[in-house]
Chains A and B, each alone.
Chain A
Amino acid sequence: MLLLRDISKVYQGRSPAIALQGINLTLPQGEFLAVVGSSGSGKSTLLNILGLLDRPTTGEYWIDGTRVRGWSDARLARMRNETLGFVYQSFNLIPTLSARENVELPLVYRQVPPKERRHQVDLWLERVRLSDRMHHYPAELSGGQQQRVAVARALVHNPKVLFADEPTANLDGDSTDEIVRVFDEVHASGQTIVLITHDRYFAQAADRVVKLAHGRLVSEAVTRRAN
């Protein structure tokens, strides 16, 4: 599904920073990959490159058998819209849109007519158990509820890969459990996932855990669960 070959990323600036170096990684379809590592080790940079939000400085990136090279912003946007979903630590809901309007956002940018998107949106609001809150605005929801809206938004368009950057870092125990449950469920039904987390318990839900340190992959472990 995803293939990285010798990827590096250097942030140009007053003092150029090497964020990633010599990354080789393969992600088969249906795999749940967890990325761990200390703060500043390059996890978010890696996820941004995988998620077509940023371009690597060197190296090859293949997605679904096609090499990503010299793509226009519009093509990257369409690719993200059609095949990728994102969840962030800080929920990133649009404050002026209700829960259901936030969830339908990827479908809106895909020109899906309102009648057709309704079914998908309702289905996902139900899966994250927020059907009764769909007309609420983000400010009227708890952190855990907001993150569930964000998860529904990331999955509403059946993306090929779900990316999550520390989705439980701002949540309490019960809310974390709820997110882990949803990830477990979608993974069980074949969803490919890349998760960045500091939460060992959440990482144990993955098939495989890779560790980053100073921009390099330093260790790889297959979890008990995958066996």
Chain B
Amino acid sequence: MRIDDVVRHAVRPLRVYKLRSGLSLMGILIGVAAVITLTTLVRSASLSVSGRVENLGTNLVIVTMNPLVEASNMQDGLTLRQSRSLERLPGFALAAPVDYETTTAGHGETTAPVTVYGSSPRLTSVLQYHLALGRNWTAKDVSTQQRVVVLGSQTSRQLFGERNPIGRRIALNGASYRVVGVLAPKGAFFDINQDAVAIVPITTYQMQSGIHTVESVYLKTASPAANPNEIHRLEDRLNHDLGNANRYTVMTQSEMLTVTHKISTLLTRVLTGVAAISVLVGGIGMLNVLLMSVSERVREIGVRKTVGARRAEILAQFMLESVIVAMIGGMLGAALGIGASVLLTQRLHIALVLNPWIPAAGVVASMGVGALCGIYPAARAATLPPVEALRRP
């Protein structure tokens, strides 16, 4: 049998028995789509996160308070004074205490949901915001507990529309603040809307909330990257101030990157395993349909053998049929997976990072599964004696 005839005869049943072919490729389609979507999503997310972390600078160190364990006699947290004094540790250049909460901002009858940050003037630059209008408030505003605020672009638009908000007043938690600046838009990141923010002096924030310890401190080292000695000194100081090493967590940029990487590697492994199993299950479904197809086509096999088909030719035809079904399933699955990845990364506001080898590998793996699942049914078809095959009704 010529190769073009083998292909033609292998493809024909797929067109005639559309439903059966569709059923047999469904499992593989779903499996491949799942592999591509999950791995692409994890990869895109982890690259977005690590890109963001990298942007914060290699010299960033973050201290966060751990949640208080009930009935423990741990200290509440760092005072403002203690957090500031971290800046004077050898090797450190900057320390910005940061507290935050989500609440509602108001202007007249208009309200907008907002995340309020209490910090020092340096927070805007640490978080890489740029001012679009007005100015940042100053260290003096902090020391004198001024009710001044820098608004995120979205919050400004929601409260003031296209009007200039500089010098106008907004309400936060029942107190009135004067707007001194507006930030340039930054866009969303995952679920976090980075433009619905209000940044106020931490002293004002603490006076308002009544809590006088800080949740976290953003530090920057003087050298391009934090070295172990500097971290050690920082931990010594924190142990002294807090009286307990379990009260806080210190993260350097490289640690954050390592954690991100570890999580994404682990997720990728787990998800790839799950997806591989689903492709295999899809393959078993296909095996079933192929076996059904062989027993339905016993007479056809008998006819082919009667007119001179050899075992290898029957085997080739049925194998090719299953490889093609699986390949179509793999290609449709790849298309679906890419589509789903595009859609989901858009919804999550992260950049799509699509490795073109993944869909390609998905299609090739499907063909492998197709070949594997085709062997047994095709061998059964090929070894049927022609008289047996023709006697069937």
Contact A108 B390 (CB under 8 A): no
Q: Does A209 contact B (CB under 8 A)?
A: no
- Beyond A108-B1, A111-B2, whether A53 also contacts B313 by CB under 8 A is no
Contacts of B305 in A (CB 8 A): 77
Q: Tell me which of A58-66, A81-89, A181-189 binds B.
A: A81-89
Contact B308 A88 (CB under 8 A): no
Interface residues of A in 92-150 (CB under 8 A from B): 92-97, 105-106, 108-111, 113-114
Taken residue by residue from 55 to 84, chain A's Cβ proximity to chain B (1 for < 8 Å, 0 otherwise) reads as 000000000000000000110011011100
Q: Which of B1, B303, B310 is close to A94, meaning CB atoms less than 8 Å apart?
A: B303
Taken residue by residue from 1 to 28, chain B's Cβ proximity to chain A (1 for < 8 Å, 0 otherwise) reads as 1101100010011001100000000000
Measured CB to CB, the nearest residue on chain A to B383 is A73
Contact B307 A109 (CB under 8 A): yes
Contact B390 A88 (CB under 8 A): yes
Contacts of A113 in B (CB 8 A): 2
Q: Does B247 contact A (CB under 8 A)?
A: no
Q: Which of B2, B16, B386 is close to A108, meaning CB atoms less than 8 Å apart?
A: B2
Measured CB to CB, the nearest residue on chain A to B2 is A111
Contact B311 A74 (CB under 8 A): yes
Contacts of A88 in B (CB 8 A): 390
Contact A73 B5 (CB under 8 A): no
Contacts of B306 in A (CB 8 A): 51, 53, 80, 86, 92
- Beyond A74-B310, A106-B307, A111-B1, whether A53 also contacts B387 by CB under 8 A is yes
Contact B309 A77 (CB under 8 A): yes
Contacts of A95 in B (CB 8 A): 16, 300
- Beyond A54-B387, A109-B1, whether A92 also contacts B299 by CB under 8 A is yes
How distant is the Cα of A88 from the Cα of B299 in the complex, in angstroms?
Answer: 12
How distant is the Cα of A168 from the Cα of B47 in the complex, in angstroms?
Answer: 74
Q: Does B304 contact A (CB under 8 A)?
A: yes
Contact A94 B300 (CB under 8 A): yes
Q: Which of A54, A73, A80 is close to B307, meaning CB atoms less than 8 Å apart?
A: A80
Interface residues of B in 243-264 (CB under 8 A from A): none
Q: Does A48 contact B (CB under 8 A)?
A: yes
Contacts of B311 in A (CB 8 A): 73-74
List 17 A–B pairs whose Cβ atoms lie within 8 Å, in order of A's numbering.
A53-B386, A73-B310, A77-B308, A80-B306, A80-B308, A86-B307, A92-B299, A92-B302, A92-B390, A94-B303, A95-B16, A95-B300, A96-B13, A96-B17, A106-B308, A108-B1, A109-B1
Identify 8 new A-B residue pairs, CB closer than 8 A, beyond the known A48-B387, A92-B390.
A51-B306, A53-B390, A54-B387, A86-B307, A92-B303, A109-B1, A109-B308, A111-B1
